[in-house]
């Protein structure tokens, strides 16, 4: 959510930003908010003036009673009574206007960074840099689900019976490799100075609307029936929610945490589920980075965070690239975002394995997360980034470390988590 001062003082900037996001249908909201805000401030001013007048008149009553002017005191009491009714009506109107303003403000996209490329969808995203050579071996790389099945590591048929499409069983060494990646990601981030955390996997609706847009919420979140609880789509949701309503001393910033969680997503929309494989599923596991910092430090943290993900994948000999997200591909709360993509030798193209975003003070403004400074309280900046989301990281390892004989080499950094095992082969 942006600062309403931008709409009061610079409507053109807000409208231009909406156009850059290719959301012209939201432009009328700007004038609606502007007019509602004028009414709100007028209503508040009238209420403040009446409260001040009421206080002054109240002070007179005691003096008049002491002077024996009982009739005059009674008249003033009647006036005060009428002020009370007017103030009550104005407070109710103020509350209704505030709700209408917030409802519309939640739909206005955040102001994107000047460096973000302009484009209507992800086809206009821009490659930044490649890390590692995107090689293709002289033998065929099977589809990742086929690799896993041949290694006795996948059972989607049974998962279909227990849970339906979009779920899976990982078995044996493949399941162990999956957990090894997550354990290594945890230790990798702890060694970078991040504090490890396991958060709640369900959150209240006010936290959901605090961390994401309504469009994302509808497409992603599973709601628990008859409860004000949602299953998280990423641990960022509950990690940012951890600080809801908090006033943090600026000396405690930055707060850098890395969190593990299972994640649950509907995957509603154009992408849909992957029928056979594990790329787009309803349930997966993730190691996340979350940072709260001073707004002026946000871009430095953004660049550090995505570089950590690149370093993590390169330590497993995985070739990756970074991709700058264009304006139309940014979720509404994001200021700037880039994806980390792994090379697929089978498809001979890159696929997303992580995403890094800086959100300015949008989430903090929605959730009331502020820092206490010598010059007053102000909202913090929030950032998030995927260390790994598995099984996508698992797919990258399976494809890039697949051998001609059908075995899969285990990256050296993962071998200690696999009991020293160097490769996975069919038993």
Domain layout of the chain by residue ranges: 4-105, 122-424
Spatial separation of the C-alpha atoms in residues 228 and 20, rounded to whole Å: 35
DSSP state of 294: -
The strand pair at 255-264 and 195-197 is best described as parallel
Query: Who has greater pLDDT, 410 or 48?
Result: 410
Q: What is the DSSP letter of 256?
A: E
Write out the two tokens for 287: 């190691």
Please give the Cα distance from 108 to 23 (Å, whole number).
Answer: 9
Does the pLDDT at position 62 exceed 70?
Answer: no
What per-residue string of b and e applies to 373-395 under the rule 16 or more CB within 10 Å gives b?
Answer: eeeeeebbbbbbbbbbbbbbbbb
The model's pTM:
0.90
pLDDT at 48: 87
Assign 271 a pLDDT band (cuts: 50, 70, 90).
low
Residue 402's Cβ-side half-sphere holds a number of Cα atoms within 13 Å equal to 27
Confidence of residue 277 (pLDDT cuts 50, 70, 90): confident
**Contact in structure between 250 and 294 (CB atoms under 8 Å):** yes
Contacts of 67 (CB under 8 A, 6+ apart): none
Neighbours of 171 (CB within 10 A): 16
**Contact indicator for 90, 46 with CB cutoff of 8 Å:** yes
pLDDT digits (tens, 9 = 90+) for 160-198: 999 999 999 999 999 999 999 999 999 999 999 999 999
For 120-139, the pLDDT digits (tens) are: 999 999 999 999 999 999 99
| Closest to 7 in 3D by CA, of 40, 24, 41, 32 | 32
Reduced to 3 states (helix: H, G, I; strand: E, B; else coil), residue 125 is coil
Question: Nearest-CA neighbor of 312 among 175, 164, 181?
Answer: 181
Domain 4-105 and domain 122-424 have a common topology: no
Mean pLDDT of 111-119: 97
Residues 221 and 266: beta-carbon distance below 8 Å: yes
Q: State the pLDDT at residue 54.
A: 74
Rounded to 5°, the CA angle 347-395-345 comes to 30
Cβ neighbors of 363 (< 8 A, separation 6 or more) are 210, 211, 240, 333, 369, 382
**Could you give the CA distance from residue 293 to residue 306 in angstroms, rounded to a whole number?**
16
> Which CATH number fits the domain 122-424, given the four candidates 3.40.50.720, 1.10.3720.10, 3.30.930.10, 3.10.20.30?
3.30.930.10
Please determine, looking at this structure, whether the domain spanning 4-105 carries the CATH number 3.30.1490.270.
no
Binning pLDDT at 50, 70 and 90, where does residue 274 land?
low
Q: Which of 224-238, 268-282, 312-326 has the lowest mean pLDDT?
A: 268-282
DSSP assignment string, 34-66 = HHHHHHHHHHHHHHHHHHHHHHHHHHHHHHHHH
Q: Distance (Å, rounded) from C-alpha 382 to C-alpha 307?
A: 17
């Amino acid at each position: 959510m942006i600062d309403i001062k931008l709409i009061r003082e610079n409507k053109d900037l807000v409208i231009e930003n909406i156009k850059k996001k290719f959301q012209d249908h939201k432009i009328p909201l700007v004038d609606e908010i502007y007019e509602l805000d004028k009414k709100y401030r007028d209503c508040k001013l009238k209420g403040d003036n009446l409260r001040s007048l009421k206080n002054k008149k109240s002070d007179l009553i005691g003096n008049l009673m002491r002077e024996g002017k009982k009739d005059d005191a009674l008249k003033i009491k009647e006036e005060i009574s009428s002020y009370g009714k007017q103030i009550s009506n104005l407070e109710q109107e103020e509350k209704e206007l505030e709700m209408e303003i917030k409802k519309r403000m939640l739909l206005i996209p955040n102001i994107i960074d000047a460096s973000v490329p302009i484009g209507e969808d992800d086809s206009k995203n821009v490659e930044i840099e490649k890390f590692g050579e995107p090689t293709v071996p002289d033998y065929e790389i099977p589809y990742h689900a086929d690799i896993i099945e041949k290694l006795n590591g996948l059972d989607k048929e049974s998962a279909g019976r227990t849970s339906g499409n979009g779920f899976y069983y990982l078995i044996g060494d493949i399941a162990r490799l999956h957990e090894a990646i997550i354990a290594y990601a945890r230790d990798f981030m702890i060694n970078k100075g991040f504090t490890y955390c396991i958060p709640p996997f369900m959150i209240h609706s006010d936290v959901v609307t605090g961390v994401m847009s309504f469009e994302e919420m509808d497409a992603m979140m599973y709601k628990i029936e008859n409860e004000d609880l949602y299953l998280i789509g990423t641990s960022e949701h509950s990690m940012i929610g951890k600080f809801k309503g908090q006033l943090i001393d600026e000396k405690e910033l930055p707060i850098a945490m890395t969190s593990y969680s299972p994640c649950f997503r509907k995957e509603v929309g154009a992408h849909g589920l992957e029928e056979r494989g594990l790329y787009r599923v309803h349930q997966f596991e993730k190691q996340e980075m979350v940072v709260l910092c001073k707004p002026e430090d946000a871009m430095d943290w953004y660049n550090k965070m995505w570089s950590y993900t690149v370093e993590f994948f390169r330590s497993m000999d995985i070739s990756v690239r970074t991709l700058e997200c264009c304006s139309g591909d940014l979720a509404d709360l994001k200021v700037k975002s880039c994806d980390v993509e792994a090379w697929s030798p089978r498809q001979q193209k890159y696929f997303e394995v992580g995403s890094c975003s800086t959100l300015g003070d949008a989430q903090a403004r929605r959730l009331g997360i502020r820092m206490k400074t010598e010059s007053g309280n102000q909202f913090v900046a929030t950032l998030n980034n995927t260390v790994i989301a598995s099984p996508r990281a698992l797919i990258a390892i399976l494809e890039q470390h697949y051998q001609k004989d059908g075995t899969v080499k285990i990256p050296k950094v993962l071998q200690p988590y696999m009991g020293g095992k160097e490769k996975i082969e069919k038993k």
